[in-house]
């Protein structure tokens, strides 16, 4: 086990990708706090996995303070922070209300800021010359190239990419590494919602034809699983990644390595 003796907190920890990260961290021996709005998160059901549930609305400063107070009281330090909480508004800027825009930034960007800000003292407590602390933010391949009808989401993820580099510069000297994972299409409630709303601007196909079309456009001919992302997050959290900081790690089955696929 690679994370024995380490304490981790995962925001969105009961959501699609977050829960897979929590499960992997537990398997690797970490003490894990799964932070989310509700114990069920975005999934229909939740089996007791051995993580500690922390009620956390990442947009609320008082919630972030309280969550870190609890981790400090119980664990005394935090080795790993994963900012996985996120929302997605599937609209162009014309259709996006100011409230939706602000909410997108509040969760995806401000949430990353607030949770990281109040985690810093605990992360410093955990960092040693042999073992740095690790923050893993959630960017997106949409922070590099755009999906249609996802304007606010793309913008929040671009902001997270820049924030990741800034945090890495500022807190690297304190023994804290900061990276972002940038998932492509991952099989989560968020993706299924995207399919159901036909957010790709598709021509009225069924969910099945849409899913197949999305799979087929990937060089790996599939979209990813939450476990695929958890594999990378685990590596970035572990001491194996001790020299990795300030980088954006795209994990998308090769999707963004290719030019647009013309159907010839």
Partner 1 sequence: MPLDGKTAFVTGGRQGIGRGILEAFLTEGATVTTCGRGARPKDFPAAVLWCELDVSDPDAVNQLAQTMDALDILVNNAGVQVEKTVVDSSDADWDLVMGVNARGVFNTCRAFIPKMSHGGSIINIGSISGRVSDPSMALYNASKAFVHGLTRSIAVDHGPDVRCNAICPGWIETGMLEAGFDLSGDPERAKSDALSRHPVRRFGKPADIAAIAVWLASDEAGFATGQMFTVDGGMTAASPINPGLT
Sheet holding 248-251, edge to edge: 52-55, 31-36, 7-11, 80-83, 133-138, 176-183, 248-251
Residue 118 falls in the annotated catalytic set = no
- Confirm or reject binding of residue 66 to partner 1 (CB under 8 A): no
- Confirm or reject binding of residue 148 to partner 1 (CB under 8 A): yes
Of residues 48, 54, 41, 50, the one with CA closest to residue 81? 54
Count of residues in contact with partner 1, rule CB under 8 A: 28
Task: Give min distance, CB of 197 to partner 1, in A.
Answer: 13
- Member of 146, 162, 244, 251 binding partner 1 (CB under 8 A): 146
- Confirm or reject binding of residue 201 to partner 1 (CB under 8 A): yes
Note whether 115 and 143 are within 8 A (CB): no
Binding mask 158-187 for partner 1 (x = CB under 8 A): ---------------------------x--
Write out the H or E segment, with its range, that includes residue 34.
Answer: strand 31-36
Binding mask 245-264 for partner 1 (x = CB under 8 A): ----------xxxxxxxxxx
Write out the H or E segment, with its range, that includes residue 116.
Answer: helix 111-126
- Both structure tokens of 89: 């508004």
Q: Which is nearer to partner 1, 118 or 223 (CB)?
A: 223
Please give the Cα distance from 138 to 83 (Å, whole number): 6
**Phi, psi dihedral angles at 213 (to 5 degrees):** -60, -40
- Confirm or reject binding of residue 222 to partner 1 (CB under 8 A): no
- Confirm or reject binding of residue 33 to partner 1 (CB under 8 A): no
Contacts of 217 (CB under 8 A, 6+ apart): 255, 261
- Confirm or reject binding of residue 131 to partner 1 (CB under 8 A): no
Q: Which of 118, 153, 185, 223 is catalytic?
A: 153
- Member of 37, 190, 217, 244 binding partner 1 (CB under 8 A): 217
Of residues 136, 179, 180, 186, the one with CA closest to residue 157? 180
Task: Give min distance, CB of 206 to partner 1, in A.
Answer: 10
Q: Interface residues with partner 1 (CB under 8 A)?
A: 141-142, 145-148, 185, 200-205, 209-210, 213-214, 217, 255-264
Q: Which residues are catalytic?
A: 153
């Amino acid at each position: 086990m690679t994370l024995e003796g380490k304490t981790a907190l995962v925001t969105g920890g009961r959501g699609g990708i977050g829960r897979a990260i929590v499960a992997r961290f537990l398997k690797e021996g970490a003490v894990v706090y799964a932070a989310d709005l509700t114990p069920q998160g975005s999934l229909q059901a939740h089996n007791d996995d051995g993580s500690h549930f922390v009620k956390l609305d990442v947009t609320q400063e008082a919630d972030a303070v309280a969550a870190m107070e609890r981790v400090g009281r119980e664990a005394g330090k935090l080795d790993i922070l994963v900012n996985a909480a996120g929302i997605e508004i599937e609209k162009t800027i014309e259709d996006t209300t100011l409230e939706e825009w602000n909410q997108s930034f509040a969760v995806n960007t401000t949430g990353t800021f607030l949770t990281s800000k109040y985690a810093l003292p605990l992360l410093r407590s955990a960092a040693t010359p042999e073992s740095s602390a690790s923050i893993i933010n959630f960017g997106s391949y949409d922070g590099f190239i755009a999906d249609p009808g996802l304007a606010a989401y793309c913008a929040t993820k671009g902001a997270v990419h820049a924030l990741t580099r800034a945090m890495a510069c500022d807190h690297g000297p304190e023994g804290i590494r900061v990276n972002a994972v940038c998932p492509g299409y991952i099989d989560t409630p968020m993706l299924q919602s995207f399919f159901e709303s036909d957010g790709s601007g598709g021509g009225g196909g069924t969910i099945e034809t849409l899913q197949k079309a999305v799979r087929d456009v990937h060089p790996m001919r599939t979209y990813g699983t939450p476990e695929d992302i958890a594999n990378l997050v685990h590596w970035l959290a572990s001491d194996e990644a001790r020299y990795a900081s300030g980088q954006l790690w795209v994990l998308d089955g090769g999707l963004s390595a290719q030019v647009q696929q013309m159907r010839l």
